[in-house]
Every structure is written in C-alpha cells, then in structure tokens.
Amino acid sequence: MAGPISLGEIASRLGGRVVGDAGVLVEQVASLEHAQGRDIAFFSSARYKAQLTATRAAAVILGPRAEPLTRLPRIVSDNPYAYFARVSQLLNPAGAPQPGVHAAAHVEASARVAASARVDALAVVGAAAEIGERAWIGAGCTIGEAAAVGADSRLHPSVVVYAGCRIGKRAVVHSGAVIGADGFGMALDAGRWLKVPQIGRVLIGDDVEIGANTTIDRGTVDDTVIEDGVKLDNQVQIGHNCRIGAHTAMAGCAGVAGSAQIGRRCTLGGAAVVLGHLSICDDVHVSAATVITRSIRKPGTYTGLYPFEDNASWARNAALLRHLGKKRKKRNG
C-alpha cells in the first residue's frame, strides 16, 4: 500500500476536480458501505444514494451531476469508476519482483532469462525459451521450449505456456491458465476420430490479462492470436485459430469456438458462446448466456436465450421467430 496521499496530490497525478478540503488524506479504497476514516469510495449510480449519505469514507469520487449529493470532500470525474480504478492502482501498486532464479527451479541452459526477471521454486523454463526484463514466473509454472514471456509480465503459480507460444509485455496470467494446448482438431474417418496435429502457436499481445483456469488453444496450422489489451476472466475457453481483437473483454465461462474472429472493443458476458468460424465486427456487446449462431456485421448489443429442443424443431421455430416482426408489420399495413 502506497498511502497516505492527499486528494490534491491524487488530482495532480490523475486529473479530476477536488471539491472541499484538498488536504484530506486517504490510505485505501473501499465501498461506500464499508469505508472508514481514511478510505476513499466512489459513487456512480442513484441507487446507492442512501449509502452515499451514510458512508464513513474520508472522501468520495463521483460524477458532475452527483456533486451536490454530499458535503464530503470529493473528486469530480466524468468517469468515476475508471477514476476509482486509477486511484486503487495508485494506492495498491504491484510489487516489483526480486530478481533471481530459485534454487528449486529448472532452467534449461539454452533458455534466456533476463537478469532482472524472477523465476520461483519448481518452475520449469524450457530450451530456447525467453523470459523478459522484470518478468515474474510463479512457483510451479512451465514455460515450454522456444516460448517467450515479455517484459514486466507476471505469471502466477501453476501457469502452463506450451512450446512456441508467446506472451507480450505487461501481461498478467492467473493460476491454472493453459496457453497453447492442442485445439480440438479431429477428423472422422470410418467412424473413428483421427487427430489433426495442431502445429500453430498462441500469440498474445501487450497488456493482456488472463484469468484463472482459462484456456487458449494453439492453432491447427495458423496461429491463435490475442491482440493487445484483451481481458479474459476466469474459465474462459478460446478455441484454435481464433483471433480476439484489441481491448475486447470476456466474462467468466464465455466460450469462443475454433476459427471465430472477434473484433476490437467487444464484450462477452458470462457464459456467452460464439460458434466456430463466425466473424464479429468491432464494438459488439454480447449479453450473458447468449449464443451467437451467425456472424455479426453491425456494432451494437445482442441478447438471446432460446429453449433447448431437437435441432430440426429449433431451426424451424427460430426461423419463424426471426420473421415475426416482418409478418406483424405486413399484417398491420
């Protein structure tokens, strides 16, 4: 924790406008409900007005319209939640790794580990792998042959990065994530499944965060690509040959089947599913538990949950539902 810090100092670093005593000191962020004497909270919705009135926070972050709702010292920002995130980063800076390779780690002689990097106990770094400056490889991680982890990235304990896969700079990969396992490539031959070798890689850009137990499959021939700034929650599945556009975010248990292409700045709610070989344009938002069954070429929000039934009935009823609006309009003249 980096506090205490005054509201005036926060505003000088992050912008925003201080109303009230700029000398008020804060040490930590907290919710309106549980904040105490040196905490700073945020207010972004009228539904929490009672909590704002009752809060014991030292200060509050809020938007211009909410400024008159409290007499507490406050920082006014057009985006209170994003500002709150920046304040939390300021008060809770990520710890810098103490460089060095633990005696219980195994690093192949041909691997290149930056002098400023850290490799914890029981981690394995394969032949010709590269670990960048200030990267932190947690206990029990496996970095495969010729894989790479970029500068300032952190892999929490028990992450597996398969051979040849690459992670960019400033990535955060949480425990249990698996990067580069075989995609589900199977060819049916005389009633039996024949495995298709998965010889592509996974390429992950800069500033990506990957949640616990999330899996990203390597490509069949071409690479699976996760572009810069993508945020994946826990237990997300990305199939082989997918491309996920920059700054897209997916909530827990979302699934993207093989060869799907997701645009930039998209969001997928929890348990949303995108079927294989589909294409989704930039700035599309898919609601939780929605199943995307056809490509989307127009930005916007898409929602749908249809009851399970036999496939022929589902296809027939879905087609009828899709045209109900046109039929109603035609009937009403």
The count of domains in the chain is: 2
One domain, residues 35 and 156: no
Per-residue burial over 5-21, b if 16 or more Cβ lie within 10 Å, else e, is: bbbeebbeebebebbee
pLDDT band for position 314 (cuts 50, 70, 90): confident
**pLDDT (average), residues 52-56:** 97
Which residues span the domain enclosing 31? 5-91
Please count the other Cβ atoms lying within 10 Å of the Cβ belonging to residue 307.
7
Q: Which CATH number fits the domain that encloses residue 22?
A: 3.40.1390.10
One domain, residues 122 and 269: yes
**Whether pLDDT at 229 is above 60:** yes
One domain, residues 139 and 65: no
One domain, residues 25 and 145: no
139-168 pLDDT per residue, tens:
999 999 999 999 999 999 999 999 999 999
One domain, residues 122 and 260: yes
Residue 17 covered by a domain: yes
**Whether pLDDT at 1 is above 60:** no
One domain, residues 139 and 261: yes
From 35, 59, 91, the end of a domain falls on 91
> Pick the catalytic residue: 102, 174, 240, 277?
240
- Kindly list the distances between the CA atom of residue 206 and the CA atoms of 39, 225, 231, in Å, as whole numbers in the listed order: 32, 12, 11
pLDDT band for position 39 (cuts 50, 70, 90): very high
One domain, residues 108 and 87: no
**Whether pLDDT at 61 is above 70:** yes
pLDDT band for position 308 (cuts 50, 70, 90): low
One domain, residues 257 and 283: yes
Residue 182 covered by a domain: yes
34 is catalytic: no
One domain, residues 177 and 275: yes
CA separation for the pair 163, 64 (Å, rounded): 51
pTM for the structure as a whole: 0.91
**Whether pLDDT at 102 is above 90:** yes
One domain, residues 149 and 177: yes
* pLDDT at position 318: 82
Residue 83 covered by a domain: yes
**Whether pLDDT at 2 is above 80:** no
In this structure, the strands spanning 243-244 and 136-137 are: unpaired
Cβ-contact 180, 142 below 8 angstroms: no
Residue 333 covered by a domain: no
pLDDT band for position 316 (cuts 50, 70, 90): confident
One domain, residues 133 and 248: yes
Residue 134 covered by a domain: yes
Residue 323 covered by a domain: no
Q: Which CATH number fits the domain that encloses residue 233?
A: 2.160.10.10
